[in-house]
A and B are shown apart, each in its own frame.
Chain A
Amino acid sequence: EVQLVESGGGLVQPGGSLRLSCAASGFMFSKYWMSWVRQAPGKGLEWVANIKEDGSDKYYVDSVKGRFTISRDNAKNSLYLQMNSLRAEDAAVYYCASDTTGKLNNAFDMWGQGTMVTVSS
């Protein structure tokens, strides 16, 4: 069964750091781009970052550039998001997502269940 499972969310103070993880199973993780997408409470979806199959290319939405770092460990079938200098506006459910077939031209056919990040003092 194809599965993405996020972890690492929680409560953090403004200016703090958090590292999210996404464990992948059931597909050839090392062959596909991976993304993080977030959704603030009651708001819409916002793409945050993505990373190429081998980790050589990474892209970010402007609002997180310089603060967030996406990475992956293909040997562990895992995706990460290191979040530093967190702000109140970063509070959201964070999803990892991917085209796990290679046939959808990078539309996201698989999403994790999400992990909640709360930024508050």
Chain B
Amino acid sequence: DIQMTQSPSTLSASIGDRVTITCRASQNINSWLAWYQQKPGKAPSLLIYKASNLGRGVPLRFSGSGSGTEFTLTISSLQCDDFATYYCQQYNSYSLFTFGPGTRVDIK
């Protein structure tokens, strides 16, 4: 089974900071990786699909990169609305989709 890890697990940052979250897969998933944002009490929302493609309506300050086993989500200039938990998800095979454990971004 493919395992996903994320680092850091928690990140404290200030408005305007550049933020980077890393996601690693235990085996090659090509570019079949998505990133989601989740706020407390709400369903997740799609940010990035296929590693680097911006979801519809997602602000341009969000970007994704990587392929194979290592991926990053970058927020170029952190805004108030971005304090949330971020999850990566691999979907390399229909038979098993796996989420990372999440990275919480909070206010420094």
**Are A and B genuine complex partners?**
yes
The interface residues of chain B lying within 8 Å CB-to-CB of A112 are: 43
Interface size grouping (class) on chain B: 20 to 34
B98 / chain A contacts, CB cutoff of 8 Å: 47
- Are B99 and A104 in touch, CB under 8 angstroms? no
In the bound complex, CA of A61 to CA of B100 (Å)? 15
Tell me which of A57, A59, A61, A105 contacts B32 (CB under 8 A).
A105
A50 touching B89, Cβ below 8 Å: no
The complex places the Cα of A6 from the Cα of B61 at a distance, in Å, of: 32
Q: Provide the residues of chain B in CB contact with A57, threshold 8 Å.
A: 94
Q: Is the interface of A mostly helix, strand, loop or mixed?
A: loop
Q: Report the interface size for chain A: residues with CB under 8 A from the other chain.
A: 24
Mask, B34-45, CB within 8 Å of A = 1, is: 101010000111
User: Do the beta carbons of A59 and B96 come within 8 Å of each other?
Assistant: yes
Identify which of B38, B45, B97, B102 gathers the most chain A CB atoms within 10 Å of its CB.
B97
A45 x B44 contact (CB < 8 A): yes
Determine how close the nearest CB of chain A comes to the CB of B43; give it in whole angstroms.
4
A26 to B43, CA, bound (A): 18
CA distance A59 to B99 in the complex (A): 16
* Cα separation A44 to B99 with both chains bound (whole Å): 8
A residues within 8 Å of B by Cβ? 33, 35, 37, 44-47, 50, 52, 57, 59, 61-62, 95, 104-109, 111-114
Chain B interface residues (CB < 8 Å from chain A): 1, 32, 34, 36, 38, 43-46, 49-50, 53, 55-56, 87, 89, 91, 94-102
